[in-house]
Structure 1
Amino acid sequence: MAWARVSVSPRVDVAIDMGNPFLNLTVDAFVKIGTIAATRAVAEDTYHIIQKGNISSHDFDKTLKKMCKEGVYWGTIAGVYVGTEYGVERIRGTRDWKNAMIGGAITGALVSAVSNNKKDKIAIDAITGAAIATAAEFINYLT
């Protein structure tokens, strides 16, 4: 008897075909993670508005700006990571956890360097990016 895994939660998948696998993966990551970040910003601001007890047009404007800023920031990081990991996979010619580690390290270093951090902070952020990406990859293998 064969067992099938059935997902109970709803799933929405949007495919944007850019005509290139690298661009497809990068844009997909940007859209998905950017949407999650924007949703998180709305949830956080909604909580603060409920605590305050009233809403103003200023609150609405502030929330909208925060949604856009967070969505673009985290979407860009996700796009850079996924694109880098894919590029490393293509260069190495193999698909394994090392691609995630290298992609995470490069992404962590790039994000840190763009933030005008010093050399030591860039190195620490590269190590952190590599550790998070590698851990996520191993957790992905377990599920």
Structure 2
Amino acid sequence: MASASISSPKVDVFIDTGNPLLNHTLDGFLKIGTVAVGKVLAEETYHVVKRGSLSKNNLETALEKMCKEGVYWGAVAGVYVGMEYGTERVLGTKDWKNAMISGAVTGALVSVVGSSNRGENIVMGAITGGAVSTAAKFISYLT
């Protein structure tokens, strides 16, 4: 009996800054920022097809959205990846607790930057960040 598998090509870009923490942070920024750009590109392509036309204004708006979301998603991912690497180094372990701590700190930081009601939103951001990153880590253990 033959088995088949589907695999995707691996694209890895590595920039060596000479500092492992900065390397991890930059890697997270670039990879997740690229995902955000791809997301916006797909959304904007859908809107162009739905409208049936493309204008210079639509193109400029799409490019602006790609840049904004790429930087935002990349910055959040960079902070998270850097925090997780730092937590692993400080605690000396590589487990789900690092993801939870890093997610909570990242969620709190994101909430500080983008919130008007800072107190409760920071706590909620920390809880959400910790929960999402812990869930992602548990899912990665399944694969």
TM over 0.5: yes
What is the number of equivalent residue pairs in this alignment? Answer: 138
What is the match of residue 115 of structure 1? 114
Give the aligned partner of residue 3 of structure 1. none
Letter in 1 for 2:16: D
1:133 alignment partner in structure 2:
133
Q: Which runs of 5+ in 2 are unaligned?
A: none
Residue type at the aligned position of 2:29: F
Question: Secondary structure, in 3 states, of the residue corresponding to 1:40?
Answer: helix
Cα deviation, residue 60, structure 1: 0.5
Is 1:81 the equivalent of 2:80?
yes
Name 1:100's counterpart in structure 2.
99
Q: TM-score, normalised by structure 1?
A: 0.93
Deviation of 1:118 after TM superposition, in Å, equals: 2.2
Aligned residues: percent identity?
59
Aligned CA-pair RMSD: 1.1
Q: Distance in 2 between matches of 1:52 and 1:13?
A: 36
Give the secondary structure class of the aligned counterpart of 1:9: coil
- Note the C-alpha offset of 1:95: 1.2
| Structure 1: unaligned runs, 5 residues or longer | 1-5
Tell me by how many angstroms 1:8 deviates. 2.0
SS at match of 2:125: helix
Paired letter, 1:18? T
Aligned ranges 1:1-143 → 2 under 5 Å:
8-116=7-115, 117-143=117-143
User: More displaced, 104-113 or 11-20?
Assistant: 11-20
Q: Please identify runs of 4+ aligned residues in structure 1 that moved more than 4 A.
A: none
> Deviation digits for residues 52-109 of structure 1, max 9, x if unmatched?
1100000110010000000000000000000011111111111111000000000000
